[in-house]
């Protein structure tokens, strides 16, 4: 009972946030200038054909009734029909979401494993020359725009050295019997390498710096001094005593980072021709395919909000000192 | 003190009265020129800035209004009275190899209300000429009429023609035999003929091409996009195809015969099969034409509109009866409408007839055509794979044709060099970059072609001052097109003064372009002659014309 109540109240809060996002999305696309179907109504259409298309998409109804239809449909998991593809938005999103999630999670895991280890090491080597060299480099990678970093990696590893392919998830014309067969193939992994590297370089800075500063705090605590006095090895002190305690905030930042990473995907997927949700979002917005853009935005918002909830709950679970009571 | 003020004000009033004769002429209001944003259309944006600058030299107040395409098309197309001038473009398509679509639809007065004549041009003399060329079957007689139409347009300047852009494509000549590449007039080397004849030099037998745009659908009854039509042209056959010379040539038709001005009999080849193994019959052909005009395929219906009846004779002859004689019928209908299998589409169309959606919303799991390539698979936003139909009467020399979606132009060029693609069919970057990259690489061949399509400014012929041909001509003459070609299109375009591209050599009126005079002095003397004068540093209407649309 004690643990259930905070979970419920957090979930309710987040549902409220979700409703706000949904409403803003609805209004945003409808208040844009121009007839939303203008890009899709061919000039050769007769007036009757145009009206039919407008009816088909429910755009002839008043805004408020459109809004309620939209909310009602959402509750049933119905995201509407894409203007451009004339197919259900949900179908398209489900096709592309796995590619985006693979990219996001593999790059974040690499970034966090590296960041945590390197952060702990840098905290241990505080004041050394290694720290003087590495910190500016880390700060520089945080400041690099992702598309620029992506283009540089493409130019080096793909176009000059020819180690990795430049785009897509597979070589032209290769067929895989299932998603699993694709994701476990060497072909896929070599295509995944550069986009993951780009995102990992971009996102390792946060866990690294966070881990380092937490470690520095932890290392000042009495139990660490005690461990040192006991004559324990540096490995035991840093990893077993220090890192375990410093890790907590880093883990919650992982959950929140998933949201930021999805946003970074928009750019990286375009640079590497990755068939994911981010690229779809860009093309839907530039083609004024409002239902599809709305659906993709919503899906990203849901993932971000869900990860926030997980981060919150994780914190209470991992650190008994913090409670929502 | 008071009297002094009074005196001063009366003298001012009399001064104003003295100047009043000049005020009889109304200054022209601020004119608005619409353009798409620099990020989306850099060449167009640049051209509009340059043109506005030249127009200002004539004493006009010009503002360039920048807006995204959706907003611009909405304004121009659906609010036909509410704008002054707009940048616009027509893209080159194989069926536009016949000049009829452009010279008729863009300027005939009947299409002014809701059709392609959105500029509202109305000239009975012009209407008569383009109507006549439509029904003139003799090519030489028709050519004279098409040239006459271009001359009328040059005199009236309903539009300000700017340029015909050049399109550059590239391929890897270590993989493909250069001699097997076909350069289609006004379309370039990226065309169906190339995909059929392209001969491999070594082990790589897959043609791998790129597109920045996603394919919307693979649907024989829906024109959903430029890239989409690359695929439908390969998967589906047509009775005729527009040949490399821009003229229609028999394809699924074994032979054809005009029985009179409104009746054409087409004999179908007897060696054709659908990709599912069924034979292609005259019934299928008849069905295909009826399907396009049956109301379920709005975008194709204009191409079958002139047909009044279809009969089958002797099992394999399809006889089309037309409501009126039509010189462009072969190009615009027979070379346009896809042949579709009756056994696949009849039940689909019957089902759609009961629903609000039409055939344009329908995507087959596995599109079945009879064309030189078979549909294999489509991986969303990644690639579309077609394989050679070796049983086809014009079977391709390559094994597969693979389209990869690459949104990033620099990456596409890099992929061409690394071999991930081997035929660059879409490059939105600077053409000079492509040429330099090819020179550095050594394995690549770049070919550029003048487009059938063109860029222009549409004047709103309904609104003063654009309702005056003299004013339009002066504005058009104010701009040296070489400036537009070099500064906006970086040299990859040719100057234009006619809607019929020089790529369509037979129909193009060369003299109309050659005789075009441009320069600020030419424009000023034209305005002078037509009675426009300067009032307080701004251009004013001729005497008697009032500004009714001022802000």
Task: Express each pLDDT in B483-502 by its tens digit.
Answer: 999 999 988 899 999 999 99
With contacts defined as CB-CB under 8 Å, which chain B residues touch A268? none
pLDDT per residue over A187-208, tens digit each? 999 999 999 999 999 999 999 9
Give the integer Cα–Cα distance in Å for B403 and B382: 8
Cβ of B418 within 8 Å of Cβ of A275? The answer is no
Does the beta-carbon distance from B407 to A270 stay under 8 Å?
Answer: yes
pLDDT at B20 over 80: no
**Residue found under tokens 């695929």:** B231
The pLDDT value given to residue A157? 93
Smallest Cα–Cα separation from B423: which of B194, B218, B256? B194
Q: In chain A, what residues touch B433 (CB-CB under 8 Å)?
A: none
**How far apart are the CA of B216 and the nearest CA of chain A, in angstroms?**
5
Q: Which of B293, B382, B398 is the best substitution to test chain A (most A C-beta atoms within 10 A)?
A: B382
CA distance, residue A289 to nearest chain B CA (Å):
11
Strand partners, B45: none
* Residues B408, A273: C-beta atoms closer than 8 Å: yes
- CB pair distance less than 8 Å for B377 and A175: yes
Contact B421 A273 (CB under 8 A): no
- Residues 6 or more apart whose CB falls under 8 angstroms from that of A263 comprise A278, A300
Q: Given A38, A47, A283, which is nearest B73 (Cβ)?
A: A38
The tokens describing B7, both together, are: 């005196």
Q: Is B42 helix (H, G, I), strand (E, B) or coil?
A: helix
Higher pLDDT, B55 or B112: B55
The nearest CA of chain B is from the CA of A283 a distance in Å of 8
The interface pTM score, or ipTM, of the predicted complex is: 0.85
Q: At residue B330, does pLDDT exceed 80?
A: yes
Tell me, what's the pLDDT at A275?
94
CA distance B113 to chain A (A): 11
Could you tell me which chain A residue has the CA closest to the CA of B364? A87
Continuous segment of H or E residues that includes residue A287: none
Q: How confident is the model at residue B5 (pLDDT cuts 50, 70, 90)?
A: very low
Average pLDDT, chain A: 84
Neighbours of B260 (CB within 10 A): 10
Q: Does B67 sit within 8 Å of A271, measured CB to CB?
A: no
Candidates B83, B217, B352, B408: best to mutate against A (most CBs of A within 10 A) is B408
- DSSP letters of B60-114? --EEEEE--HHHHHHHHHH-TTS-SEEEEEE---GGGGSTHHHHHHTT-GGGTTT
Mean pLDDT, residues B236-244 taken together? 94
Average pLDDT in the B391-408 region?
A: 95
Q: How far is CA B500 from CA B98, B447, B484, in A?
A: 9, 22, 19
pTM of the model: 0.83
Distance between A137 CA and the closest CA of chain B, angstroms: 27
Give pLDDT tens digits for A226-282: 888 888 887 787 777 777 778 888 888 888 888 778 777 888 999 999 999 988 888
Give yes or no for residue B1 having a pLDDT over 80: no
Q: Which residues of B touch A280 (CB under 8 A)?
A: 381
- Taking an 8 Å cut-off on Cβ atoms, the answer to whether A158 and B418 are in contact is yes
Q: Which residue of chain A comes nearest to B298, CA vs CA?
A: A45
Q: Residue A216, Cβ neighbours under 10 Å: how many?
A: 16
Taking the CA of residue A36 and the nearest CA in chain B, the distance in Å comes to: 8
CA-to-CA distance for B102 and B108, rounded, in angstroms?
Answer: 10
Contact list in B for residue A270 (CB cut-off 8 A) is: 407-408
Residues of chain B contacting A32 with CB distance shorter than 8 Å: 70
pLDDT in tens, A12-46: 888 899 899 989 888 887 777 666 666 666 655 66
Q: Do A271 and B411 touch (CB under 8 A)?
A: yes
Q: Name the token pair of A82.
A: 């894409």
Strand partners, B375: B386
* Contact call for A173 and B67, based on CB within 8 A: no
Angle ∠(B170,B388,B338) on CA atoms, nearest 5: 90
**Does residue B16 surpass a pLDDT of 60?**
no
Most confident by average pLDDT, A75-84, B216-225, B250-259: B250-259
Q: What percent of chain B has pLDDT over 70?
A: 95
| Helix A186-203 × helix A146-153 angle, to 10° | 140
For an interface test with B, give the residue of A41, A86, A90, A146 to mutate (most B CBs within 10 A). A86
Minimal CA separation from B523 to chain A, in Å? 34
CB-based contact B417 A159, cutoff 8 Å: yes
């Amino acid at each position: 009972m004690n643990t259930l109540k905070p979970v419920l109240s957090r979930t309710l809060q987040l549902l409220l946030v979700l409703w706000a996002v949904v409403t803003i999305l609805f209004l945003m696309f409808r208040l844009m200038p121009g007839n939303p179907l203008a890009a899709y109504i061919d000039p050769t259409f007769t007036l009757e054909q145009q009206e039919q298309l407008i009816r088909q998409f429910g755009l002839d109804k008043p805004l408020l009734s459109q809004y309620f239809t939209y909310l009602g449909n959402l509750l049933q998991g119905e995201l509407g029909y894409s203007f451009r593809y004339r197919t259900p938005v949900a179908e398209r999103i489900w096709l592309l979401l796995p590619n985006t999630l693979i990219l996001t999670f593999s790059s974040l895991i690499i970034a966090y494993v590296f960041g945590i280890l390197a952060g702990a090491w840098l905290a241990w080597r505080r004041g050394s020359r290694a720290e003087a060299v590495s910190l500016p480099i880390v700060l520089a990678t945080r400041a690099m725009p992702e598309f620029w970093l992506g283009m540089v990696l493409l130019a080096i590893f793909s176009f000059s050295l020819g180690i990795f392919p430049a785009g897509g998830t597979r070589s032209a014309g290769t067929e895989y019997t299932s998603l699993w067969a694709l994701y476990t193939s060497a072909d896929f992994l070599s295509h995944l390498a550069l986009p993951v590297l780009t995102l990992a370089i971009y996102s390792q800075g946060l866990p690294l710096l966070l881990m380092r500063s937490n470690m520095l705090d932890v290392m000042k605590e009495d139990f660490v001094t005690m461990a040192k006095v006991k004559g324990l090895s540096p490995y035991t002190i840093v990893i077993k005593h220090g890192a375990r305690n410093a890790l907590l905030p880093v883990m919650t930042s992982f959950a929140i980072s998933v949201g930021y990473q999805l946003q970074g995907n928009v750019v990286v997927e375009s640079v590497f021709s990755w068939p994911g949700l981010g690229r779809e979002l860009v093309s839907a917005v530039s083609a004024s395919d409002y239902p599809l853009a709305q659906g993709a935005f919503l899906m990203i918002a849901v993932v971000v909000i869900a990860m926030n909830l997980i981060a919150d709950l994780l914190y209470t679970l991992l650190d008994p000192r913090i409670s929502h009571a | 003190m008071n009297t002094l003020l009074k005196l001063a004000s009366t003298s001012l009033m009399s001064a104003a009265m003295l100047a009043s004769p000049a005020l009889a002429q109304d200054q022209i209001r601020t004119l608005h020129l619409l353009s798409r944003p620099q990020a989306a259309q850099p060449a167009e944006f640049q051209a509009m800035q340059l043109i506005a600058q030249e127009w200002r030299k004539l004493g006009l107040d010009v503002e360039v209004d920048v807006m995204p395409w959706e907003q611009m098309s909405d304004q121009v197309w659906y609010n036909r009275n509410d704008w002054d001038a707009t940048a616009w473009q027509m893209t080159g398509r194989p069926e536009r190899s016949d000049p009829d679509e452009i010279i008729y639809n863009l300027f005939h007065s009947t299409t002014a209300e809701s059709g392609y004549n959105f500029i509202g041009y109305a000239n009975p003399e012009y209407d008569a000429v383009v109507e006549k060329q439509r029904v003139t079957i003799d090519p030489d007689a028709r050519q004279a009429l098409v040239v006459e139409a271009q001359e009328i347009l040059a005199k009236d300047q309903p539009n300000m023609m700017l340029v015909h852009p050049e399109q550059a494509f590239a391929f890897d000549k270590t993989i493909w035999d250069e001699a097997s590449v076909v350069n289609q007039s006004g379309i370039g080397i990226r065309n169906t003929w190339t995909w059929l004849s392209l001969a491999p030099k070594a082990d790589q037998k897959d043609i791998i091409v790129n597109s920045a745009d996603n394919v919307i659908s693979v649907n024989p009854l829906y024109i959903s996009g430029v890239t989409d039509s690359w695929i439908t042209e390969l998967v589906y056959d047509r009775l005729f195809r527009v040949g490399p010379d821009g003229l229609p040539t028999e394809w699924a038709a074994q032979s054809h015969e005009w029985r009179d001005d409104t009746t054409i009999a087409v004999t179908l080849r007897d060696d054709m099969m659908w990709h599912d193994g069924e034979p292609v019959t005259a019934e299928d052909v008849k069905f295909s034409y009826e399907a396009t005009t049956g109301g379920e395929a709005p975008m194709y219906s204009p191409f079958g509109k002139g047909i009044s009846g279809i009969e089958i004779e002797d099992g394999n002859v399809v006889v089309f009866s037309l409501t009126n004689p039509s010189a462009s019928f072969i190009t615009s209908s027979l070379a346009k409408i896809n042949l579709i299998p009756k056994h696949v589409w009849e039940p689909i169309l019957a089902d759609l007839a009961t629903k609000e959606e039409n055939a344009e919303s329908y995507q087959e799991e596995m599109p079945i055509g009879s064309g030189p390539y078979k549909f294999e698979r489509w991986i969303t936003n990644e690639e579309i794979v077609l394989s050679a139909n070796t049983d086809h009467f014009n079977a391709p020399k390559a094994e597969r044709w693979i389209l990869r979606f690459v949104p990033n132009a620099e990456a596409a060029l890099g992929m061409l060099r690394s071999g991930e693609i081997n035929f660059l069919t879409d490059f939105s970057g600077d053409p000079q970059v492509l040429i330099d990259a090819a020179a550095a690489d050594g394995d690549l061949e770049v070919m550029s072609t003048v487009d059938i399509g063109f860029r222009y400014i549409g004047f709103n012929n309904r609104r003063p001052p654009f309702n005056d041909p003299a004013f339009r001509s002066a504005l058009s003459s104010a701009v040296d097109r070489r400036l537009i070609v070099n500064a906006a299109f970086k040299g990859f375009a040719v100057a234009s003064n006619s809607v019929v591209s020089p790529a369509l050599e037979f129909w193009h009126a060369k003299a109309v372009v050659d005789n075009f005079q441009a320069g600020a002095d030419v424009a000023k003397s034209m305005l002078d002659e037509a009675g426009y004068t300067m009032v307080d540093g701004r251009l004013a209407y001729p005497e008697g014309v009032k500004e009714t649309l001022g802000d």
